[in-house]
């Protein structure tokens, strides 16, 4: 069973609908018991970094999520803000992130040809192959909406990059934890393929 974490931010129903299209048994919940019972976890999120982290801490789920991620090694997929909070923090605010991946989020610099936020369909370039993208189509494009980008301390934690005036990490991972800066739930068949892979892969596939 996949748990879609409800902590007050995120496109919960859109993510659940995409998971159902992928054939996954997926529930939306903000209960600690649901975190403990889940086989896999999706951490969605939209909006401001500080607001997201405060809402997550207020939810009382952080301890259970830390145990699921770091002790039980459950596969976890962060989406957009849910991906950014996997790291140490962000220039968007002063709240610490979950610290599961050694990374920091930076604001896109101002550039006439590249307005912020980065809001468009865009490609990803695989840097370090991951089973989630093993069958990715050459024409695959994903939907992005963000003003801050992830910057990993360890290049091996970068699965894919995207170019928007500069190359930035658009998919990150560390062991069982993976995050996409784009929204798979809004990325039609390409996002469906990713969620389908997340549903079908075994725990060991994320740790290899």
Positions marked catalytic: 80, 183, 185
Nearest to 98 by CA among 177, 169, 190, 161: 177
Backbone angles phi, psi at 65, to 5 degrees: -70, -40
Q: Which residue has the tokens 């307005």?
A: 115
Q: Which residue has the tokens 């610290």?
A: 99
d(CA 32, CA 59): 9
What are the residues whose beta carbons fall under 8 Å from the beta carbon of 202, sequence distance 6 or more?
A: none
Extract the tokens encoding 70: 């770091």
Extract the tokens encoding 108: 């896109």
């Amino acid at each position: 069973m996949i748990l879609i974490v409800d902590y007050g931010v995120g496109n919960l129903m859109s993510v659940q609908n995409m998971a159902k299209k992928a054939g996954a048994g997926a529930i939306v919940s903000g209960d600690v018991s649901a975190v403990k019972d889940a086989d896999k976890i999706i951490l969605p999120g939209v909006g401001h970094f500080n607001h997201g982290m405060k809402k997550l801490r207020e939810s009382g789920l952080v301890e259970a999520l830390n145990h699921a991620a770091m002790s039980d090694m459950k596969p976890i997929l962060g989406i957009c803000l849910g991906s950014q909070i996997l790291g140490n923090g962000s220039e968007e605010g002063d709240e610490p992130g979950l610290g599961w991946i050694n990374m920091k989020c930076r604001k896109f610099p101002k550039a006439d040809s590249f307005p912020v936020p980065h809001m468009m369909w865009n490609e990803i370039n695989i840097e370090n192959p991951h089973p989630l993208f093993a069958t990715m189509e050459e024409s695959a494009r994903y939907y992005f909406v963000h003003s801050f980008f992830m910057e990993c301390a360890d290049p091996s934690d970068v699965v894919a990059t995207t170019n928007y005036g500069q190359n930035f990490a658009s998919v990150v991972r560390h062991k069982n934890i993976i995050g996409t800066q784009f929204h798979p739930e809004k990325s039609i068949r390409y996002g469906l393929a990713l969620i389908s892979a997340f549903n079908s892969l075994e725990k060991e596939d994320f740790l290899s």
